[in-house]
Structure 1
Amino acid sequence: MANTIEVSGLRKRYGDVHAVDGVTFEVGEGEFFGILGPNGAGKTTTLEIIEGLREADGGEISVLGARPWPRNPRLLPRIGVQLQASSFFERLTAREQLRTFGSLYGVPARRADAMLETVGLDDKADVRVEKLSGGQAQRLSIACALVHDPELVFLDEPTAALDPQARRNLWDLLRGINTGGRTIVLTTHYMDEAEILCDRVAIMDAGRMLRLGPPAVLVRGLDAPARISVPSGVLPAEDARRLPGADTAADDGVSLTISTREPSAVVAAMAAKDALDGVQIHGATLEDVFLHVTGREYRA
């Protein structure tokens, strides 16, 4: 597989702050690639350098076989960019906004109108952009990034302002775009989103890349215990701690949760005690990996 993006030793500094500190990775053609990290990790700066919006202090970058900086006019029609915060032309309707963006790339009006339906805004076509809700404005921003059918799409926290239903609908849209052969690079704070959508993810913190790989591989590499839970009262916590294979057991008054690296042994012992009513078994997730490598302290 050819690489759509190649980044080597990328650096960007603001005074004493190393926003990006020696980041290296590649994104294959047709890959859905995620960049994860806490606030201030360097995700957006990395993305903006690759997009050609910022100049790097050091390192090598190739996007679709070209250098993005200085701004490369031949590269721009081949990429689509949705920023964290988007500004629209004032006093235009959603249809006029999208047609205006499309016209910059020679996109016919009918194709721009079709994109409104694709992102679920066809019923808001004649609504001025300042009257759109936050989620609707976010979808319009994504439509503007996709209207010219780019080969490579950058999405910076695209579902941040969306409700759960809108998020799921957007996931379906992004899957369809990716299945059609487009490369997508995404930043997100939603671990479930990255786990479901991305072929590979990179976890960043303090400007450095800490983990890189397919979500399932990163989760398996964590070697975290499984968590088995039943409603409180199904089994006393003291009895749960004595079950074969149980590491710990705690009851918070709502659920009894057992931590174990031998879930089959624990479940078998619980079955023998007729204590499987309402049982739930949870393995490690990408969120566990994220917290393990970046820590649990609050980030402003």
Structure 2
Amino acid sequence: MANFDYKITSPAAPAVQRNWWVYAVIIAVCVANFLPYLWMVMTGFMDRSVAASSTPNWLFWPTLDAFRYLIFEKGIMWNFMNSLIVSLASTLFSVTIGMFCAYALARYDFAGRDDVSFWVLTNRMMPPVAVLLPIFVTFQNFGLLDTLFGLILLYTAMQLPFVVWMLTGYFRDIPRRYEESAMVDGDTWVQAFRKVTLPLMMPSITATAIFVMILSWNEFAFATFLTSTSAKTMPPAIMAYSIGANIEWNVLGAAVVLITAPLILFVLIMQRQLISGLSQGMVKK
């Protein structure tokens, strides 16, 4: 009897096509966007004469004179603390309040729900300059000008539409039967929300809080017109170093480092939570 050897061969794997030009374009775009910021950071560590030179100097002896000038002579850390307090407080209040508003829009069917959702979204579309004068007059009448409480109150109201718009869709992706099962077991609505819904929503809430923190930290228009000295935040404080005939470029570069470095570090630390929160809605429960 003849012996037949059968050899099972797997189908050839498709060749991996590497589009090198895509990587080249991405690298070129990243370099083009990063180089101006890199040059500004380097300028912050330059001497005044080197920074004011008409020819670029890539090799120089770094110095901290500009940072010492901003911190010890100009007291910019006071503005830094104002930005930190206002950003953290407004983020906490807007995310907490907006979370329950988004939950109500996602879970309860009431008359005018779609109209409320659309009204919340249109509030975010309105440019800040359109309501700058009325808000200034209101703050002046209530004694809120140049106060941290006034900025926190305003930023909370400004960021609420964004929070509600972001979280409503995430709440709708979580099946209602999860909460109903918890309530069948004897939990109240608050306990079901705290034990079931809130843990599932934490990545999305964290991602939304990161965006709100960034928006509050970088807000410029209202911080410029509603503050003068005691409550001035970093964006309007830095503007003073970028206007005028004699701009000290090393001081401006140091100010750019002080306002952007904490935010970049914050995003790098929270990037895992940010990616997890943004991708949560892509997975259907």
| TM value normalised by structure 1 | 0.23
| TM value normalised by structure 2 | 0.24
**Larger strand proportion of the pair:** 1
Q: Work out which structure has the larger RCO, using CA pairs closer than 8 Å and 6 or more positions apart in sequence.
A: 2
